[in-house]
A and B are shown apart, each in its own frame.
Chain A
Amino acid sequence: GAGVSQSPSNKVTEKGKDVELRCDPISGHTALYWYRQSLGQGLEFLIYFQGNSAPDKSGLPSDRFSAERTGESVSTLTIQRTQQEDSAVYLCASSLAGGGAYNEQFFGPGTRLTVL
């Protein structure tokens, strides 16, 4: 079946503009995660959705970052008033519900964001 998909694959924007990044998780996966990866760095957790529970937003770096999820499907990560330090690859992952120790995360290909 289809894996996790993300769009766009690449986004170039000007400093100060808003951007929206989209993630389509695997059907039936109720857990959805956003990470970002700056050049040469490891993955940085941003936000996590699980079913109808309140999202874990503890990784969002500033109030310019927000994310929404429609039910148990599509998620959108929004960055307002982008800054050059927001340039990174933004990765989305999904997994089956609960029992996190047992379930693997499936990652999308990422969106490469470049802020000029």
Chain B
Amino acid sequence: DAKTTQPNSMESNEEEPVHLPCNHSTISGTDYIHWYRQLPSQGPEYVIHGLTSNVNNRMASLAIAEDRKSSTLILHRATLRDAAVYYCILRAVRLSMNRDDKIIFGKGTRLHILP
């Protein structure tokens, strides 16, 4: 899987929007962009994923640059419970549908929410 680059940490005020950036300049045309987050003392949980178009779900929005070399996870109104490490990951589409590839997690961005 291609490499991603994220800031080590970010801070945001409670009840304000948060934009978490991710650079993936070596992304290939068949790579999907996935975001996971890990709350303190828990395993990671899926947040959102997309390919080219912006995506919205109940947790967040994903804005993907037109050239797909970067993306931004948007939390529209941060709460204290959103304090976590956020991981941006690329996952390739494989011709063989019987086997996935391992996910390579980087160090992610540690998001601090200020009350």
- Do they bind each other? yes
Number of B residues contacting the other chain (C-beta, 8 Å)?
30
**What's the minimum C-beta distance from B12 to chain A, rounded to whole angstroms?**
21
Which B residues lie at the A interface, using CB under 8 A?
30-32, 34, 36, 42-46, 49, 85, 87, 91-94, 96-108
User: A108–B43 contact, CB under 8 A?
Assistant: yes
The A52-82 residues at the B interface (CB cut-off 8 A) are 53, 56, 58-59
Jot down 11 A-B pairs with beta carbons below 8 A, ordered by A.
A33-B103, A48-B102, A51-B99, A100-B91, A100-B101, A100-B103, A101-B30, A101-B93, A102-B32, A106-B46, A108-B43
Give A102's nearest chain B residue, CB to CB.
B32
**What's the minimum C-beta distance from B23 to chain A, rounded to whole angstroms?**
17
User: B99–A98 contact, CB under 8 A?
Assistant: yes
Which range holds the interface residue count of chain A?
A: 20 to 34
Which A residues lie at the B interface, using CB under 8 A?
4, 31, 33, 35, 41-45, 48, 50-51, 53, 56, 58-59, 91, 93, 95, 97-110
CA A54 – CA B65 in complex, angstroms? 37
CA A106 – CA B97 in complex, angstroms? 19
